[in-house]
């Protein structure tokens, strides 16, 4: 039964209040919660350690809780980047203290403080929503906050902002999460030579569309480009779903034994002409990967270690001083594997990682059967599209 127009409009309006589905996986949610716990504990602990527990300066100001949500639960947001939290909080604190001192009416001072803080943050490109609460705290925080004057800007605001940012930088790095996002990309000029982002879309196109928007989009342009690129990969993989990983893999590529020396691994990667190869154990099971870039920076074993290794090699023993791949430069990257009979759609989330150069393909016995590079994937899809034309001819 169709609704009359007014009822349909009201229904659509009410449905707009329903929250959208959260795509974040549970491990990431738990990681954000643990990061917030450590971040707030470190921030409050730093204040007590540097200023003492009996000081009139609060151990934590409330806006730091809001900043914590952004830094640990939404670290990809432009509003959660380092300059946003540092610049936004300091600017808001200065504006709030000034309004509190110059305007007698608390209500007028609070309204003007938040308004001016937003304007200055937009000019300085450091918009940070919790900073609005910093401006309000400077105005409505009570006699103890007012007594600090502009000292409120340095402690607690600046001190706690730097402490919270430091905790976020350390935690994201320790848990393998990219932070910060955005900013000036040194590789951007070279990236423009790599072709369009997706379906003819270029970096300039993305920036032009974003400039025409009349509202703030809480996403970094670089992340938006990566999303478009991964979406295109997903669409291609769906189109060629009949292809399996075994159909397009390279079988002639050799793997690096886990006990290979660094020199032997360098020679093998150079001979194969690839930047990354899988590392296998004695049963040809993939246990990681090794990159030529890591080998270039690794220290080659000395003559004494090579001599010891040569003496012990007949007994298949490894000397403690020998630098082998599994002990020095191997990346514990067992997640970069697929089954030979899997659809090429499974390659999308693997190649979507910026550092992924190849994927190891396993046979029914979970042993290495071949590898797939991005070039293999493109060549396989090209052959697939040409096959019907050859058959028709």
The 10s digit of each residue's pLDDT in 220-241 is 777 777 778 777 777 776 777 7
> Residue 298 pLDDT > 90, yes or no?
no
The 10s digit of each residue's pLDDT in 255-294 is 888 888 888 888 888 887 777 888 888 888 888 888 887 7
Residues 6+ apart with CB under 8 A from 359: 245, 336, 337, 338, 347, 350, 351, 371, 372, 373
Task: Record the pTM.
Answer: 0.62
Separation CA 285–CA 355 (nearest Å):
22
Give domain 245-392's CATH number out of 3.90.1150.10, 3.40.50.300, 3.10.580.10, 1.10.600.10: 3.10.580.10
First to last CA, the chain: 54
Q: Which of 328, 333, 379 is nearest to 355 (CA)?
A: 333
302, two tokens: 């000395």
Beta bridge partners of 250: 371
Q: Which of 262, 324, 322, 330 is nearest to 296 (CA)?
A: 262
Separation CA 138–CA 98 (nearest Å):
9
Task: Strand 358-362: give its sheet, edge to edge.
Answer: 337-339, 358-362, 368-373
CB 97 within 8 A of CB 150: yes
> Given this model, what pLDDT does residue 85 score?
97
The 10s digit of each residue's pLDDT in 337-369 is 889 898 887 887 777 665 667 888 998 888 898
Burial per residue of 236-264, b for 16 or more beta-carbon CB atoms within 10 angstroms, e otherwise: bbeebeebbbbebbbeebebbbbbbbbee
> Residue 186 pLDDT > 60, yes or no?
no
Cα torsion angle, 231, 234, 235, 236, sign: positive
C-alpha 370: how far from chain center: 29
For 123-137, 176-190, 224-238, which range has the lowest pLDDT when averaged over its residues? 176-190
> Given this model, what pLDDT does residue 357 score?
75
Spans of all domains in the chain: 26-174, 245-392
Q: 142 or 54: which carries more pLDDT confidence?
A: 142
Q: 388 or 99: which carries more pLDDT confidence?
A: 99
113, two tokens: 């403080």
Question: Stretch 61-88: mean pLDDT, rounded?
Answer: 95
Separation CA 243–CA 380 (nearest Å):
8
> Given this model, what pLDDT does residue 188 score?
42
Q: What is the mean pLDDT of the chain?
A: 81
Q: Which of 97, 108, 103, 164 is nearest to 135 (CA)?
A: 97
Question: Stretch 43-60: mean pLDDT, rounded?
Answer: 87
Residues 6+ apart with CB under 8 A from 66: 129, 130, 133
> Given this model, what pLDDT does residue 156 score?
94
Share of the chain above pLDDT 90, in %: 34
Q: 227 or 120: which carries more pLDDT confidence?
A: 120
> Given this model, what pLDDT does residue 7 score?
72
Q: What angle do helix axes 159-174 and 26-51 make, rounded to 10 degrees?
A: 140
Q: Please state, in angstroms and as integers, the Cα–Cα distance from residue 91 to each residue in 62, 135, 376, 392, following that order.
A: 17, 9, 52, 69
Share of the chain above pLDDT 70, in %: 80
């Amino acid at each position: 039964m169709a609704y009359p127009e007014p009822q349909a409009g009201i229904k659509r309006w009410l449905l707009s209040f329903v929250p959208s589905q959260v795509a974040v996986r549970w491990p990431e949610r738990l990681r954000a919660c643990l990061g917030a716990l450590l971040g707030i504990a470190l921030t409050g602990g730093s204040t007590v350690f540097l200023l003492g527990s009996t000081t009139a300066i609060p151990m934590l100001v409330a806006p730091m809780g809001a900043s914590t949500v952004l830094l640990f639960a939404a670290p990809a947001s432009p509003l959660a980047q380092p300059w946003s939290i540092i610049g936004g909080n300091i600017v808001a604190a200065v504006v709030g203290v000034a309004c509190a001192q110059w305007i007698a009416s608390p209500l007028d001072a609070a309204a003007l403080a938040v308004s001016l803080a937003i304007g200055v943050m937009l000019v300085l490109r450091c918009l940070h929503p919790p900073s609005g609460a910093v401006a309000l705290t400077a105005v409505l925080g009570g006699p103890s906050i007012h007594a600090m004057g502009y000292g409120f800007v340095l402690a607690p605001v600046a001190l706690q902002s730097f402490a919270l940012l430091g905790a976020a930088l350390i935690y994201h790095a320790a848990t393998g999460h990219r932070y910060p996002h955005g900013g000036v990309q040194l590789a951007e000029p070279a990236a423009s030579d790599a072709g369009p982002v997706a379906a003819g879309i270029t970096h300039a196109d993305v920036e032009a569309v974003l400039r025409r928007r009349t509202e703030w989009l809480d996403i970094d342009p670089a992340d938006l480009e990566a999303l478009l690129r991964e979406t295109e990969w997903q669409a291609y993989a769906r189109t060629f779903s009949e292809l399996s990983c075994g159909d397009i893999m390279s079988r002639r590529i050799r793997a690096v034994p886990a006990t290979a020396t660094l020199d032997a691994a360098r020679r093998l990667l150079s001979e194969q002409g690839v930047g990354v190869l899988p590392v296998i154990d004695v049963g040809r099971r993939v246990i990681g990967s090794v990159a030529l870039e890591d080998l270039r920076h690794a220290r080659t074993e000395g003559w004494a270690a090579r001599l010891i290794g040569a003496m012990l090699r007949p007994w298949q023993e490894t000397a403690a001083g020998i630098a082998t791949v599994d002990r020095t430069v191997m990346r514990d990257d067992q997640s970069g594997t697929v089954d030979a009979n899997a659809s090429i759609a499974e390659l999308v989330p693997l190649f979507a990682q910026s550092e992924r150069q190849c994927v190891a393909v396993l046979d029914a016995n979970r042993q290495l059967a071949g590898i797939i590079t991005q070039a293999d994937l493109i060549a396989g899809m090209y052959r697939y599209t040409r096959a019907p034309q050859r058959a028709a001819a």
